[in-house]
Every structure is written in structure tokens, then in C-alpha cells.
């Protein structure tokens, strides 16, 4: 069974731009969670979707948003990028809410 895939793997943007990251969960998994990983703050939870509904949201500004489609694929969007948004963005999927999460390789976002 294929693992979690994330596209693109690397992105370079400039301040003020917006970006969309994509995540395809493991087949049969209906829950998708997003995390931001930085050297200073570590792994921080962004949000979780289950059956196209946002179940949980972390403490991030409204510039960070996401959605989930009927096939369980998920996207997250960051608008008006700031230098501090440079990070590794990780997506994880699970069969159902609160189950073991399996992670993708991440998208490395660099904001210049």
C-alpha cells in the first residue's frame, strides 16, 4: 500500500505571496492532520480533517487554512507569507480520528 504523499517536496516563495500544499493520504484513511516543524518551535499541530470536516485546529493565525476533499486528499493554504512561515510542513493520515498517524515526507517551504 502506498504511503502518504505530499507535493511539492520543496517550495521557494517570497513574502506576501500565497502557497498551496497538497497531501494524499494512505488509501482507506479518512483523517488527515497537518503539522508545522521548525527548529525553534518543534512540531506544532495546525489542523485535522475527517470526512471533509475540520475537527481540530491549532493556534495558528487565520492565514493558515485547509480543506479536505471527498477522496480524503487534503490541501493547506498559507496566504500573505511571512519569513517565519519557512518550515517543513508535514501531513499525516490515519484510518479514523485518534488512530495511529502515518506521516508523509513533508514539504519544505522557504520564504525569502
- Tell me the C-alpha distance between 104 and 109, whole Å: 15
Q: Is 62 in the site for another protein (CB under 8 A)?
A: no
Binding mask 19-38 for another protein (x = CB under 8 A): --------------x-x---
- Tell me the C-alpha distance between 43 and 3, whole Å: 20
Of 1-20, which residues contact another protein (CB under 8 A)? 4
Q: Which of 90, 93, 109, 111 binds another protein (CB under 8 A)?
A: 90
Q: Is 97 in the site for another protein (CB under 8 A)?
A: yes
Minimum gap (Å) between residue 80 Cβ and another protein: 26
DSSP secondary structure letters along 49-95: EETTEEEEE-S--TTEEEEE-TTS-EEEEE-S--GGG-EEEEEEEES
Q: Which of 14, 27, 51, 55 binds another protein (CB under 8 A)?
A: 55
Neighbours of 46 (CB within 10 A): 21
What are phi and psi for residue 75, nearest 5 degrees? -130, 150
Q: Is 96 in the site for another protein (CB under 8 A)?
A: no
The residues of the shown chain that bind another protein, judged by CB under 8 A, are 4, 33, 35, 42-43, 45, 48, 50, 55-57, 90, 92, 97-98, 100-106, 108
Amino acid at each position: 500500500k502506498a504511503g502518504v504523499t505530499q507535493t511539492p517536496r520543496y517550495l521557494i516563495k517570497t513574502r506576501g505571496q500565497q502557497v498551496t500544499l497538497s497531501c494524499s493520504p494512505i488509501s482507506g484513511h479518512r483523517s488527515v492532520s497537518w503539522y508545522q516543524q521548525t527548529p525553534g518551535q518543534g512540531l506544532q499541530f495546525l489542523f485535522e480533517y475527517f470526512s471533509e470536516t475540520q475537527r481540530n485546529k491549532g493556534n495558528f493565525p487565520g492565514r493558515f487554512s485547509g480543506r479536505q476533499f471527498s477522496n480524503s486528499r487534503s490541501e493547506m493554504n498559507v496566504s500573505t507569507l511571512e519569513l517565519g512561515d519557512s518550515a517543513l510542513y508535514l501531513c499525516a493520515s490515519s484510518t479514523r480520528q485518534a488512530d495511529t498517524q502515518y506521516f508523509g515526507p513533508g514539504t519544505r517551504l522557504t520564504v525569502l
